[in-house]
């Protein structure tokens, strides 16, 4: 989509938003998944510690 002389600035802005906010989202979800996996490895179905 062309916005005349503003094109680069507009797309850069939206790009910055996507990268930084998307980055926080991705980092948050990755860390959450990694932690959940570790917790599952350490506990059984009822949440009690595995021997």
Partner 1 sequence: MLRYANPKKFLDLSGALLPWLWIAAIGLMGWGLYQALFTVPPDYQQGDSVRIMYVHVPSAWMASFIYGFMFIASVVGLVWKHPLADTAAKEAAPIGAAFTAVCLITGALWGKPTWGTYWIWDARLTSVLVLFFLYLGYMGVWAAIEERAKAAKAAAILCVVGVINIPIIRFSVEWWDTLHQGPSVVRFEDGKFAPSIDGSMLWPLLIVAVGCTLLFFALLFVRMRTDIAQRRIRTLMAQKAAS
Is the alpha carbon torsion for 16, 17, 20, 23 positive or negative? negative
Indicate whether 17 belongs to the interface with partner 1 (CB under 8 A).
Answer: yes
Binder among 35, 44, 45, 46 for partner 1 (CB under 8 A): 35
Is residue 26 a contact residue for partner 1 (CB under 8 A)?
Answer: no
Question: With binding defined as CB under 8 A, does residue 21 bind partner 1?
Answer: yes
Task: Give the angle subtended at the CA of 24 by the CAs of 23 and 25, to the nearest 5°.
Answer: 90
Are the C-beta atoms of 19 and 25 separated by less than 8 Å?
Answer: no
Nearer to partner 1, 5 or 45 (CB): 5
Q: Does 29 bind partner 1 (CB under 8 A)?
A: yes
């Amino acid at each position: 989509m062309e916005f005349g002389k503003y094109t680069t600035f507009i797309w850069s802005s939206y790009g910055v938003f996507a990268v930084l906010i998307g980055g926080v989202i991705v980092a948050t979800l990755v860390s959450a998944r990694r932690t959940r996996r570790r917790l599952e490895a350490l506990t059984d179905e009822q949440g009690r510690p595995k021997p």
